[in-house]
Amino acid sequence: MLGACGWFTVGIMAPSATVAMAALRQLEAALAWPTLQPGETGEGEPSGEPGGVFLKGNQRTGLFHVRREEGLGAGILITGHEATDPAAEDTWGPLPLDLFA
């Protein structure tokens, strides 16, 4: 299923930016994806305070962003994109944060 897609977005709901970043790096390593770079919000805890976050990563831009988001739960969402075959596009998850550890 993933092989039919040309690129991916990932959403990670986590109790902190540190946990979200760890899940992202494990996912990238397990699936041999290019390493995403921080966007304007950068890596680490938004506002320097611990708490729930949503990390959104986009392979097309090569960037990820982290924002404070409470009450989402925890997990990984992966969405596959393929302009030449929209039937291949899908979203998988939420998957456990430690699935790719």
Task: Name the more confident of 13 and 86.
Answer: 13
30 inside domain: yes
Instruction: Supply the range of the domain harboring residue 30.
Output: 25-52+64-69
Angle (nearest 5°) at CA 32 between 2 and 38: 100
d(CA 98, CA 26): 8
Cα-Cα-Cα-Cα torsion 71, 74, 75, 80, nearest 10 degrees, comes to: 20
Q: What pLDDT, on a 0 to 100 scale, did the predictor assign at position 53?
A: 92
84 inside domain: no
Q: What pLDDT, on a 0 to 100 scale, did the predictor assign at position 72?
A: 80
- Name the pLDDT band for 58 (thresholds 50, 70, 90): very high
User: For 65-99, what is each residue's pLDDT tens digit?
Assistant: 998 888 888 999 999 888 787 777 888 889 999 99
- Name the pLDDT band for 21 (thresholds 50, 70, 90): very high
Q: What is the pTM of this model?
A: 0.85
78 inside domain: no
40 inside domain: yes
